[in-house]
Amino acid sequence: MMKIVKMRANTAMVLVLVFLGLFSPVISPYDPNELNLKDRLMHPCVEHPFGTDNFGRDALSRVLHGARISLFVAMSVVALTTFAGICFGIIAGYYGGIVDNAIMRIVDSLLAFPNIILAIVILGIFGPSYLNLVLSLAAVWWVSYARIVRGVVLSLKEAEFILSAKALGAGNLQIMAKHILPNALSPILPLMTLDLGSAILAISGLGFLGLGLQPPTPEWGVMLRDALPFMETHPYLMIFPGFMIMVSVLAFNMLGDSLRDALDPTLKLGSKI
């Protein structure tokens, strides 16, 4: 019972975030990129509940748009990660043999690799862009999915209903889509949710270092970086974006935990960052 209540609460939190992200252009009081040098560095007041930044941009609007951007990029990362992971996992499990061995060797080696370092290096060398950001993060994270999916495939490969489907003449692709994928979904869903949280942390971390999305994009990590010179006199410019990062990650982490408890409590999922 408690589980369901918790799950509902966590889902609600995430939905609020998604709502903020989707509707930020509508609910933001100002254009997040509109400069207004006369009003720069204002403390929180009625017109600007979060104050204004160095360029006179409304901080509240920027934070709201930040939700949109973070969610969008995080979802891109997780989408690519899941897709690649599922593909490799199915290939490894289904075809077995050398292919399986090769893929699993790679999976084992990359399993806990500090991919933020890889991301930093790739973004630093090839330049910060949305594409490089998504690719460099997905480059290492796909392995967890591959492992799980492969496990599912292996356990189901010799199952009765698969054999009978094959006997009935179903093609490999059909089997994968109809029978294997749905079963793989239950361990994957919590992982995806947790990874959304990890992605937001990674994206904002890279933005903070100057290697992620670039100014004037209102991304939370970038906002933290912009707020550094004014930390002493205007600490809230730094506090609000960071707080939003924490809240978002917390929401996804808790939802992910609830999902895992509901679907597959034996799964050992660690955080990625």
Partner 1 sequence: MIIKRLATALLVMFFASFLSFSLLYLAPGNVAEAVLKEQLGFEPTEDEIVAFMTRYKLDKPFFIQYYIWLRLFVTGKLICPQTGESVTGEFLYRFPVTLSLAFSAVAFAACFGIPLGIVSAIRRNSIIDSICRVIASVGVSIPSFWLALLLILFFCVKLRILPVFGLGLKNLILPTIALGLHLFASITRVTRGSMLEVLSQHYILVSRAKGLPEKMVILRHGLRNAVIPVITLIGLQFGHLLGGTVIIESIFSLPGIGKFLMDSIFARDYIAVSAFVMFIAFLFVIVNLIVDVLYTILDPRVRVE
Partner 2 sequence: MASTLEYYYPFLLDLASEFRSKIVSPSAVEPAWSTSGELVKYIGTGQFKLAEYVKDQYAVLERNDEYWGEKPKLEKVVWKAIPDAHALVMALKTGDVDIIGAPEHHSAVPYEEVPKLQADEDIEVSWQSYGRFQVIRFNCYVEPLDDVRVRKAINYAVDRGTMVKELFAGIAEPANLPMCSWFKYGPIIEGYEYNPEKAKVLLEEAGWIDSDGDGIREKDGKELEVELLIPQGEANADVVAVYLQSELKKVGIKLNIVSMESSAASEKRKKGDFMMYVHHSGCIPWAPQGILWQNHYTKAEGYYKHFHTDELDELIENVYTTRDDAKRDEYYQQVWKTLNDEAAQLPLYDIVKVVAYRDCVKGYNHAATMYKMDLTSVEIV
Site residues for partner 2, 232-261, by CB under 8 A, read: 232-233
User: What is d(CA 104, CA 21) in angstroms, rounded to the nearest whole number?
Assistant: 37
Closest by CA position to 242, among listed 182, 188, 200 = 200
Residues contacting 272, CB < 8 A, separation 6+: 115, 141, 194, 195, 198, 202
233 contacts which partner out of partner 2, partner 1, none, CB within 5 to 8 A by kind?
A: partner 2
Burial of 18 (0-12, 13-18, 19+ CB in 10 A): middle
Q: Which is nearer to partner 1, 26 or 125 (CB)?
A: 125
Q: Which is nearer to partner 2, 186 or 214 (CB)?
A: 214
CB of 13 to partner 1, least distance (A): 12
Interaction pattern, residues 163-192, with partner 2; x per rule: CB under 8 A: ------------------------------
User: What is d(CA 5, CA 254) in angstroms, rounded to the nearest whole number?
Assistant: 13
Site residues for partner 1, 174-233, by CB under 8 A, read: 197, 201, 204-205, 208-209, 221, 224, 228, 231-232
109 contacts which partner out of partner 2, partner 1, none, CB within 5 to 8 A by kind?
A: partner 1
User: What is d(CA 133, CA 121) in angstroms, rounded to the nearest whole number?
Assistant: 11
Interaction pattern, residues 39-78, with partner 2; x per rule: CB under 8 A: -x-------------xx-----------------------
Out of 253, 255, 259, 260, the only residue in the binding site for partner 1 (CB under 8 A) is: 253
Q: Which is nearer to partner 2, 35 or 269 (CB)?
A: 35
Closest by CA position to 259, among listed 4, 1, 15 = 4
User: What is d(CA 11, CA 194) in angstroms, rounded to the nearest whole number?
Assistant: 13
Out of 121, 159, 163, 177, the only residue in the binding site for partner 1 (CB under 8 A) is: 121
Closest by CA position to 149, among listed 222, 100, 109 = 100
Q: Does 120 contact partner 1 by CB under 8 A?
A: yes
Site of interaction with partner 1 (CB under 8 A): 105-106, 108-109, 111-118, 120-122, 124-127, 197, 201, 204-205, 208-209, 221, 224, 228, 231-232, 235, 238-239, 242, 245-247, 249-250, 253-254, 270-273
